[in-house]
Structure 1
């Protein structure tokens, strides 16, 4: 062995000895997640919902008074449907979302705050439709299902 090897070998042994653990300290390990946890926002961004706005509510499913529904045109229904969706999805509590259809038909949708029921986001709503000078009012509660669709779970005329 060379002279430098004779000096380096004991120094290396001393360094290794300093690295060894002689105590009984315990190291706490964080829990291991076997499946990734994906946090979903309570309210999806507009980019996530704009493309399906017309598909996730249907005023024919209890969002509008049935008597008004029979008097509404296709444009009226489309405008009411869009207003209903955007009010439920993004509306501030108490701030009505207005809409206007054909031949003077108008309406507004007002919503309450979000409430969590059975792991679903729900909101009270009031949808007012004015056709031919007559107001038709529908109040109820709608919940957003896991697939993003809003459904009326409780309604009153």
Structure 2
């Protein structure tokens, strides 16, 4: 009987470590602490692991692409399932990213997510999966 009580407790304890909320911390503070370097270098390194993200080869300016990737990272790392994270540029480009509930694959946290971008009002959506690396970056599968 005691064995059966321990299993749910261990499952809850394991899930508690899988939180995707930041607890109010900004991503730049956390990113800087992962690498021991500057916050900007850490942010660039963590975003680089996403490659082109779900926006792929969409017609985005470099600044727009960076905003889109930051929104993907913010969503994957900190947002609860179903919460919309929006981004908007000054040149009529925008988007929103929504992630599903995190799940485990081996020792990695993974999430499915959708990114919809709007270029001149025309929406384009893509779906994918990313898993979190030990250094805090996310790699698209």
Question: TM-score normalized by structure 1?
Answer: 0.62
The reply to whether residue 94 of structure 1 matches residue 76 of structure 2 is no
Aligned counterpart, 2:97: 109
Pair 1:60–1:146, CA change in 2 (3 A): closer
Between the aligned partners of 2:80 and 2:91, the Cα distance in structure 1 is: 29
Residues 2-23 of structure 1: CA deviation (Å, up to 9, x unaligned): xxxxxxxxxxxxxxxxxxxxxx
Gaps of 5+ in 2: 1-16, 33-38
TM-score, normalization by structure 2: 0.68
In structure 1, the residue matched to 2:9 is: none
Q: What is the count of residue pairs matched by the alignment?
A: 111
Give secondary structure in 1 for the equivalent of 2:31.
helix
SS at match of 1:53: helix
CA 1:138–1:62: 2 relative to 1, 3 Å: farther
- Residues 72-106 of structure 1 deviation map (CA, whole Å, 9 limit, x = unaligned): 11221121111111110001111110000131100
RMSD value over aligned CA atoms?
A: 2.3
Aligned to 1:61: 51
Aligned match of 1:125: 113
Contact 1:73 1:102 in 2 (8 A): no
Taking the aligned partners of 1:80 and 1:59, their CA distance within structure 2 comes to 14
Using CA pairs below 8 Å that are at least 6 residues apart, which structure has the higher relative contact order? Answer: 2
Whether the 8 Å CA contact 1:107–1:129 is kept in 2: the answer is yes
- Distance across 2 between alignment mates of 1:151 and 1:78: 16
